[in-house]
């Protein structure tokens, strides 16, 4: 008898960033964070777990078709063993259950976007792993309880167990038992909210988040100041989301992205995740917001140069046109210089100062992904 489950899980992009651990083994963060789950129609990881007593002993894992070693006591190993422990407890209570906890596992996971390009592939990947294994094991645990396990695979993964707007509460316990994700609002709460991902680079980043954040914890004084402001930012952004107050949401999101990257710069040696194109995107959004009199869009950058721009559906055409105008994706630079009339037609007389947006180059933005707020993990198949 073969037991198998396939689950897909979404990407999430933080508005209040997780950066720093107070326990690197258990992955307990130095601050709470908040993210938006993006639609799986565009970005997702899909994982199949199979248990079969006839498999050779030992678990095996493939990521995008390439086998990865599951290191004993490594992050993936910890996630698998914790879930096995929960399954074993069920089997001990109910002797009629098949002994899945004793069977070797074969796990295959695919991303439909480049790994390690600053697009949170570890978040959706580990969330898909934990969700598919818990589905295979028929575990009764809630998404928040499962987030305790996903967190130990990759911190940001714990937020991908929910759709919509998600907080990861840092918690107080030294064993991490209260450091878990919680949904602040479901994906249906604010349907006008959308995201535009500007792919600036699909290359692997030079400094991983894991290494970068601990270097910041150890060397940055600014980082300690950031920890003082995060709690009030968390409160403010949660109430902005609940009230659908885009202006406040945008201001806090941009401020926190900037504080996070300032902490990276304040690290010894400094870490540069953004590049000239990223900085130009910041200037473009700042100019659009200024011309509009209040924020119509918010940029945020993770540990890489790609921008994620949050905006409302009514502003999205303007944002897309503005990005295409300044960062034409193809050779048709000349054609795109005539975009402003279209922007005006969309109802926004954007009299912004174009000279303030510097350093744009042809083809600087490699691709745009226009997406929406999405749901949590989806069970695709189970037998």
Q: Least distance in Å: CB of 155 to ligand DP6?
A: 3
Beta strand 28-29 with 367-372 is unpaired
Tokens of 367: 């691709």
Nearer to ligand DP6, 18 or 165 (CB): 18
Binding flag, residue 18, ligand DP6 (CB under 6 A): yes
Contact, 278 vs 301, CB < 8 A? Answer: yes
Contact, 152 vs 27, CB < 8 A? Answer: yes
- Alpha-carbon dihedral sign for residues 287, 291, 294, 296: negative
Q: Which of 181, 194, 310 has its CA nearest to residue 256?
A: 310
The 261-300 contact track toward ligand DP6, x by CB under 6 A, reads ----------------------------------------
Nearer to ligand DP6, 17 or 233 (CB): 17
Contact, 221 vs 266, CB < 8 A? Answer: yes
Any residues with CB less than 8 A from the CB of 146 and at least 6 apart, and which? 130, 131, 134, 139, 161
Would you list the DSSP string of 26-70?
A: TTEESS-EEEEEBPTTTSEEEEEEEE-TTSPSS-EEEETTEEE--
Q: Least distance in Å: CB of 292 to ligand DP6?
A: 28
Binding flag, residue 302, ligand DP6 (CB under 6 A): yes
Q: Least distance in Å: CB of 14 to ligand DP6?
A: 3
Nearer to ligand DP6, 153 or 328 (CB): 153
Q: Least distance in Å: CB of 179 to ligand DP6?
A: 11
| Alpha helices (H) in the chain, listed in sequence order | 75-93, 121-136, 143-153, 209-219, 221-243, 246-265, 276-292, 316-326, 333-336, 340-345
Nearer to ligand DP6, 197 or 357 (CB): 197
Binding flag, residue 303, ligand DP6 (CB under 6 A): yes
Report the site for ligand DP6 in 208-227 (rule: CB under 6 A): 209-210
Binding flag, residue 33, ligand DP6 (CB under 6 A): yes
Q: Least distance in Å: CB of 226 to ligand DP6?
A: 13
Q: Least distance in Å: CB of 84 to ligand DP6?
A: 21
21 membership: H or E segment, kind and range? strand 21-23
Nearer to ligand DP6, 63 or 303 (CB): 303
Nearest-10 crossing angle of helices 143-153, 121-136: 130
Binding flag, residue 17, ligand DP6 (CB under 6 A): yes
Binding flag, residue 84, ligand DP6 (CB under 6 A): no
- Residue from 122, 147, 179, 280 in contact with ligand DP6 (CB under 6 A): 122
Nearer to ligand DP6, 116 or 346 (CB): 116
How far is residue 43's CA from residue 274's CA, in Å, rounded to a whole number? Answer: 22
Nearer to ligand DP6, 156 or 287 (CB): 156
Binding flag, residue 125, ligand DP6 (CB under 6 A): no
Contact, 41 vs 169, CB < 8 A? Answer: no
- Applying CB under 6 A, what is the total number of residues that bind ligand DP6? 14
Q: Least distance in Å: CB of 360 to ligand DP6?
A: 25
Q: Which stretch binds ligand DP6 (CB under 6 A): 13-21, 225-233, 281-289, 359-367?
A: 13-21
Contact, 49 vs 104, CB < 8 A? Answer: no
Contact, 38 vs 373, CB < 8 A? Answer: yes
Report the site for ligand DP6 in 144-183 (rule: CB under 6 A): 154-156
Q: Least distance in Å: CB of 296 to ligand DP6?
A: 24
- What does the chain come to in residues? 383
Q: Least distance in Å: CB of 201 to ligand DP6?
A: 15
The residue ranges that bind ligand DP6 (CB under 6 A) are: 14, 17-19, 27, 33, 122, 154-156, 209-210, 302-303
């Amino acid at each position: 008898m073969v037991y198998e489950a396939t689950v897909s899980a979404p990407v999430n992009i933080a508005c209040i960033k997780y950066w720093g651990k107070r326990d690197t083994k258990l992955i307990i963060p130095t601050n709470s964070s908040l993210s938006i789950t993006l639609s799986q129609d565009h970005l997702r990881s899909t994982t199949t777990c199979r248990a079969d007593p006839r498999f050779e002993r030992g678990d095996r894992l493939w990521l995008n078709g390439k086998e990865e070693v599951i290191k004993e006591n490594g992050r993936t190993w910890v996630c698998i063993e914790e879930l096995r422990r929960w399954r074993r407890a069920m089997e001990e209570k109910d002797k009629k259950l098949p002994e899945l906890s004793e069977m070797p596992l074969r796990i295959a996971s695919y991303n439909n976007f480049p790994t390690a390009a600053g697009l949170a592939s570890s978040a959706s990947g580990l969330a898909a792993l934990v969700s598919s294994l818990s589905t295979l094991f028929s575990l009764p645990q809630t998404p928040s309880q499962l987030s305790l396990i996903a967190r130990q695979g990759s911190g940001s993964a714990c937020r991908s167990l929910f759709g919509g707007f998600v907080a990861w509460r840092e918690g107080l316990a030294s064993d991490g038992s209260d450091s878990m994700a919680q949904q602040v609002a479901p994906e249906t709460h604010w349907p006008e909210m959308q995201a535009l991902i500007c792919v600036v680079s699909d290359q692997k980043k030079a400094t991983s988040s894991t290494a970068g954040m601990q270097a910041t914890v150890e060397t940055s004084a600014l980082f300690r100041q950031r920890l003082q402001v995060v709690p009030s930012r968390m409160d403010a952004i949660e109430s902005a989301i609940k009230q659908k107050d885009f202006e406040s949401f945008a201001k806090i999101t941009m401020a926190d992205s900037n504080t996070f990257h300032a902490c990276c710069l304040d690290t010894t040696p400094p870490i540069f995740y953004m590049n000239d194109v990223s900085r130009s995107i910041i200037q473009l959004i700042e100019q659009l917001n200024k011309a509009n009199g209040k924020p119509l869009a918010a940029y945020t950058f993770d540990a890489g140069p790609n921008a994620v721009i949050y905006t409302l559906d009514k502003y999205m055409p303007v944002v897309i046109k503005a990005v295409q105008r300044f960062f034409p994706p193809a050779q048709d630079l000349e054609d795109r210089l005539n975009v402003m009339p279209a922007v005006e037609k969309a109802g926004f007389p954007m009299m912004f100062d174009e000279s303030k947006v510097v350093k744009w180059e042809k083809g600087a933005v490699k691709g745009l992904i226009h997406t929406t707020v999405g749901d949590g993990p989806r069970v695709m198949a189970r037998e």
